[in-house]
Amino acid sequence: MALGLLRRRRSRGGPDAAPDLSLPLPAGAGAYGCEVVDPMGQPLGGAEVTVTALDSHRVAAHGTTDPYGLFMAALPPGSYSVMVAAEGLTPARSNVDIAAGAALPPARVALLPARQLELPPPGTWLFDPPHTAIRFIAKHVGMAHVHGRFTRFTGGIRVTPDMGDSQVSVRIDAASITTGNRTRDNHLRSADFLDVEHYPYIDFTSTRFVYRGGSRWTLNGTLTMHGTSRSVGLDTTYLGTVNGGYEQELRCAALAKTELHREDFTLNWRSMLARGIAVVGPTVQLELDVQAMYRTPETPTPPE
């Protein structure tokens, strides 16, 4: 859970020294903190920081830096991926290990100007499941947020010479939903919600890539869930291409987000609320953290 900063002071090392951040830690927790600066070395407020558990791919903390460029979160012990992003700047990723009772020295994160990322070459790109996550966040009625993910899915990208005509397709096994609570998960699979017996898959197929400037795109398309199809737009940040992985194959990555309204897919929230069924609220934030491999005759099959 992200915590507000209680005190900020500069060390005696001078104005360029890392800030000394203090906050009480919950029992058994550790802390991660960072100071984000822009290309001129000035504090960058409003930068988006996302901390994701490496083992479960669950978002453990998410927020924005304060006007001084500072962010801090108390976290359970474990290994995490940290992504820092701001409009017009290149996102920064790093991995951290959190130990109980320990607060890491605040990391100084300098974001660089966004370079014009080279678009992926035309062809077929296959989702790499071990390095791809499909997550969601829903508000538990009157209480905290429910974090979950889908563990079984397939997907691919068909890149065309005109990027706007490219297409993404994703098929999610609805029964693979998990929120870390067996009773709740079984209820979400039931006829009250996803009804996986009658609607085993959730499908998305894009119809158009719309360029928004920098590394931002909107993927317009159709989402089919619970027997109903609706037009949705995925707000997408393209993260570039790299040679790496199992056999140093070419890969590309992107982060896509959207908000879904349950009643658009005949999941009648008000009816269920009247019956005392209040597992999650009427809106769901969906996030796809995708890494895809360029398909060639030599491309290895990703492990499941």
pLDDT per position as a tens digit, 262-295: 766 765 544 554 444 455 567 889 999 999 999 8
pLDDT computed for residue 296 by the predictor: 80
Residue 2 belongs to some domain of the structure: no
pLDDT digits (tens, 9 = 90+) for 70-105: 999 999 999 999 999 998 788 999 999 999 988 888
Q: Which domain holds residue 76?
A: 7-110
What is residue 66's DSSP assignment? -
Task: Find tokens 């009643």 and name the residue.
Answer: 263
Query: Residue 244 pLDDT > 80, yes or no?
Result: no
Same domain, yes or no: 106 and 130: no
Number of structural domains the chain divides into:
2
Is 301 within a domain? Answer: no
140 vs 229: CA distance, rounded Å: 25
**Do 129 and 180 reside in the same domain of the chain?**
yes
Q: Are residue 14 and residue 100 in the same domain, yes or no? A: yes
Domain annotation covers residue 277: yes
Question: Do 82 and 169 share a structural domain?
Answer: no
Tell me, yes or no, whether 82 lies in a domain: yes
Residues 143 and 242 in one domain: yes
Residues 133 and 50 placed together within one structural domain of the fold: no
Non-local CB neighbours of 248 within 8 Å, separated by 6+ positions: none
Question: Is 290 inside any structural domain?
Answer: yes
Asked whether residue 73 falls in the same domain as residue 167, the answer is no
Does 189 fall in a domain?
A: yes
CATH number of the domain within which 172 lies: 2.40.128.110
CATH of the domain at 90: 2.60.40.10
Model confidence pTM above 0.75: no
117 in any annotated domain: no
CB 246 within 8 A of CB 230: no
Rounded to the nearest angstrom, the gap between the alpha carbon of residue 216 and the centroid of all alpha carbons in its chain is 15
Determine contact, residues 267/226, Cβ cutoff 8 Å: yes
